[in-house]
Chain A
Amino acid sequence: MKRADPKDQDAADKWEVQLRKGCLELAILAALWNQKLYGLEILRRLESDSDLIVSEGTVYPLLSRLKALELVRSEWVESDAGHPRKYYALTPAGKQRALDMSKTWAGFSSSMSKLLAPLGKGK
């Protein structure tokens, strides 16, 4: 079998990075759907419930932006560990954004699956 050219492999990796990054906002909103979580819990939730391998340096600035856009709100809560933790929860606007994004995702995913069906048969 022909091995992938390193340049092709690099392009595929970049595409995957972009795809994952594009999903991150929806994934965070979904993780907060029914509960409030702090940053590290969100990271662990994303890692355990999805294939998103998330860089910590990406999630915290994104949470900060979601807060500035008033899609999430935050509060500091004292913990047994001896330091406070910043918990995030969805605002009504955040819930609406999550619903809108999830509808778009479902439509997109279903049409892509139709398009990709012949590739599965051709294995």
Chain B
Amino acid sequence: MARIDGDAQQKIDAYLSRLRARLRGINEQDVREIVEELRSHILDKASVGGEEVTAGGVGGTLAALGSPEELASEYMTDNLLARAEVSRSPVRILASLFRWASLSIAGFFAFLASIVGYLLGVSFILCAVLKPVHPQTAGLWILPAGSDDFLISLRLGFGSAPPGARELFGWWIVPIGLVAGCGLMMLTTRFGLWCVRHYRRSRGLPLGQAV
């Protein structure tokens, strides 16, 4: 069994503690596994002839792993991607795309498009659900905005209808809103999953790390 000198132990604990602090969002069991696996790696690699773990050996091993911040970032990204790939949850998909958005312009637009898709989908569904509650005001309205111009407004029925506005669809907004809302949610999820997979394939250079 390798002997660990005091300085070496201190360095290992400090590194792993910094890493642990940055693994937010990953469940406690997984964090424990990550930390213990890296501790095992450091002890294996830094031991001299399998007998002694020195501060010098630990320093070199930690340098090869990269800073705790960089390593945590790799874990966070890989963890989010893996969970998003096997999940259809909008929250997980958006969390992955948000991470991509922080790394590239393409990710920013993918995130923005997904947010708009989900918001519009939820609005259509809410409009359909609220129509029976606010039959006079909930629905899709055309508002005059000038001589030849008009605006389309999806209203959930809170407040009164604006003057001069004309409602489209009437009670038909209930089935139309449900179908359009669910369709938009599904399409946005498919788009988001496609983006997550594309991001996973293209990942590498954006993080600027050598293989």
Which residues of A come within 8 Å of B, CB atoms? 14, 17-18, 20-22, 24, 38-40, 52-58, 60-62, 64-65, 68-70, 74, 76, 80-86
Contacts and interface: CB of A to CB of B under 8 A. Distances in A.
Grouping DSSP codes into helix (H, G, I), strand (E, B) and loop, the B interface class, with mixed when no group exceeds half, is helix
A68 B82 contact: yes
Interface in B160-211: 201, 204-205, 209-211
Contacts of B211: 17, 20-21, 24, 52-55, 58
Contact of B37 (A52, A60, A81): A60
B20 interface: no
A81 B75 contact: no
Interface string B37-75: 111110111010010000000000000111000110011
B40 A86 contact: yes
Interface of B: 1-2, 30, 33-34, 36-41, 43-45, 47, 50, 64-66, 70-71, 74-75, 77-79, 81-83, 85-86, 201, 204-205, 209-211
Contacts of B43: 81, 83
A65 B33 CA distance: 13
Contacts, number: 98
Contacts of A55: 64, 66, 209-211
B131 to A, nearest CB: 42
Given A54-B211, A65-B79, A18 B86 contact: no
Given A54-B211, A60-B34, 9 more contacts: A17-B210, A39-B37, A57-B209, A60-B71, A61-B75, A61-B77, A68-B86, A69-B85, A83-B39
A56 B82 contact: no
